[in-house]
Amino acid sequence: MTLPLLTARRAAKLFADTHADDTGAATAEYAIATMAAVAFAGLLVVIMRSDEVRGILTDLIRRALTVA
């Protein structure tokens, strides 16, 4: 079995076809990254609203503002 020669025309067609399959890939990646960021922000909001974390942060600020 012999393979056909890779001419400039065939190379251009091969590269054009593989590039066309990636259309919209960057948009999908941005959408996934945005959804992950929103989920992480939601998790932070839930954590920050807890009484335990609020007490830790209040204590930390109180210690930072107290002159020893």
**29: helix, coil or strand?**
helix
- Calculate the average pLDDT of the chain: 83
Residue 19: how many other CB atoms lie within 10 Å: 9
pLDDT band at 18 (very low <50, low <70, confident <90, very high): low
Q: What is the pTM of this model?
A: 0.48
* List of residues 6+ apart from 4 with CB closer than 8 A: 10
Domain ranges of the chain: 25-68
pLDDT (0 to 100) of residue 3:
67
Q: Say which residue, 31 or 23, is predicted with more confidence.
A: 31
